[in-house]
Amino acid sequence: MSTHAPVGIGIIGAGYISSIYLENCTTRFDNLRVVGVADIVPANAQRQAERYGVAAMSIDDLLASPEIEIVVNLTIPAAHGEVALQAIEAGKSVYNEKPLAATRESAREVLDRAAERGVLVGSAPDTFLGGGLQTARALLDEGLIGTPVAVTGMMLTSGHERWHPNPDFYYKPGGGPLFDMGPYYLAAMLSLLGPVVRVSGTATATYETRTIKSGPRKGEVITVETPTHILATLDFAEGPRASLTTSFDVHDTRHSTLVLYGSEGTLRLPDPNTFGGPLEHLRAGADQWESIEVSRPFTDNSRGLGVSDMARALRDDAPHRASGELGYHIVDIMHAVLESSEQGRHVPVTSTFARPQPLTAG
């Protein structure tokens, strides 16, 4: 149990994802204190503030509040960099929803300016800190499957316009399945295997338009402006190779698969967009998969865990796990994949990061 005073946080962006952040950050992480929530649409902030018992604030007032040390940036991806820079200029540390920023240049500016101002940068996803993937990390480090050889990931769906009432940003640059769902798979892979040094990719947009299927805009047609079916190969610095497929263009119900192959066996990992299991193990030479009990905490929807870990780092002057450097490496990889498709060649990845330490029980 920490003896430090809780870290005051302010949330900018009161959309769909803000509910789970507000719920968790107001009830389960005792090193956090939610001071207020703001949104470009004040009514949205007021609604969430009333629901979770925090203050509704303007963005300017939130950034100026001396009680707030970390800004949790839940705006749309295209605004991640701009809002993060505003928070940094106000002297706040900032934790961005994924991706860290829409472009490499914007993400790099966020990290560089934060270093100059002496504040921290964090980035979702924090699902790799959940019990499922942390159990997998422990088993890997213990040598259960020997030397890592390869990893495969697939995220296949027919598109978010099926359920999201305002899906436009999913189909603009900085969106698409790679930038929307890819960070979950990449964060899982990177936390297990370390940095990537080279990628190749092929990408396309199968459909030029999408039709919204729910909400007040049902029937409205939106234009697709980014690739929506992407296949990537990743070369890790330590030797393993990975394949990752992300799509908004296909019909599939078994769309969340992540498998880690080693010299002595295989681990079937949980959906990296979740915090729990299941986990399965196939021993070398065996015919039957074995279920593995998840042995680490945080198996329910624990979004905000990365913010809590960042608050601990802020108080203890220590590294945090869902770091800006990891977030930048993910952005760098995703852009390199799209560049590979456009240029028809392998693309080196020059950024790197320190592999996060396992999450301890405390």
% of the chain at pLDDT higher than 90: 94
What's the confidence (pLDDT) of residue 360?
Answer: 78
**pLDDT digits 0-9 by tens, 149-177:** 999 999 999 999 999 999 998 999 889 99
**pLDDT digits 0-9 by tens, 47-72:** 999 999 999 999 999 999 999 999 99
- Cα–Cα distances in Å, from 196 out to 84, 159, 237, 239? 25, 28, 6, 9
Which among 62, 33, 31 has a CA at the least distance from the CA of 314?
A: 31
Residues 17 and 135 in one domain: no
Residues 165 and 96 in one domain: no
Distance CA 357, CA 362 (A): 13
Provide the token pair at 236.
């890790």
| Overall domain count for the chain | 2
Q: Is 270 left (phi over 0), alpha (psi -120 to 50) or beta?
A: beta
Domain ranges, residue 134: 128-296+331-348
Residues 203 and 263 in one domain: yes
Report residue 362's pLDDT band, with 50, 70 and 90 as the boundaries: low
Residues 147 and 167 in one domain: yes
Residues 141 and 261 in one domain: yes
Q: Is the pLDDT of residue 1 over 80?
A: no
Q: Are 11 and 34 in contact (CB under 8 A)?
A: yes
Q: Is residue 97 part of a domain?
A: yes
Residues 341 and 207 in one domain: yes
CATH number at residue 97: 3.40.50.720
